[in-house]
Amino acid sequence: MKKQNRTKYLRVRVTESELKELDKRVKKTFLQRSEYLRRLIFGQLETIDTKENYLLREGLLLQIGQINNNVNQIARALNAMLKHGESFAFTTLQAEKIRQLNDMIKGWNEMKADLLKKL
């Protein structure tokens, strides 16, 4: 899609308090004032992400990545043990915990995919 240059100006008069309120709302986003106003005018304000939500998602993605890394390290260690002929047996409780962990990882990966779509 070809990018369109915006060549038309829209002038609006506001009071000092209205401008302060507008700037306060804009500051909560990663947008410039003009982009914020365009989205507001065209009903796309729900697509605006706040800095707080963005940073929260980034933190969650980082934590999910770290958890996945830890699980991968555990899996590699177990596979190495099996490869070298070492045996180990899980108790029923341990096996259940492993299943729960596996389900949690699947859920985190789904959540990570959803979060990445929104970034």
Whether residues 59 and 110 fall in one domain: yes
Whether residues 29 and 83 fall in one domain: no
Q: Which domain holds residue 93?
A: 51-118
| Within-domain flag for 96 | yes
Spell out the per-residue pLDDT of the chain, length 119, in tens.
567 888 988 899 999 999 999 999 888 888 889 988 988 888 877 766 777 777 787 888 888 888 888 888 887 877 777 777 777 677 787 777 777 887 888 887 887 777 777 65
61, 116 in Cβ contact below 8 A? Answer: yes
pTM (two decimals): 0.46
Whether residues 95 and 38 fall in one domain: no
Number of domains in the chain: 2
| DSSP one-letter string for 56-89 | HHHHHHHHHHHHHHHHHHHHHHHHHHHHTT----
Whether residues 101 and 114 fall in one domain: yes
Which residues have CB under 8 Å from 48's CB, separation 6+?
Answer: 29, 31, 36, 39
| Within-domain flag for 107 | yes
Whether residues 66 and 112 fall in one domain: yes
> DSSP 3-state assignment of 36?
helix
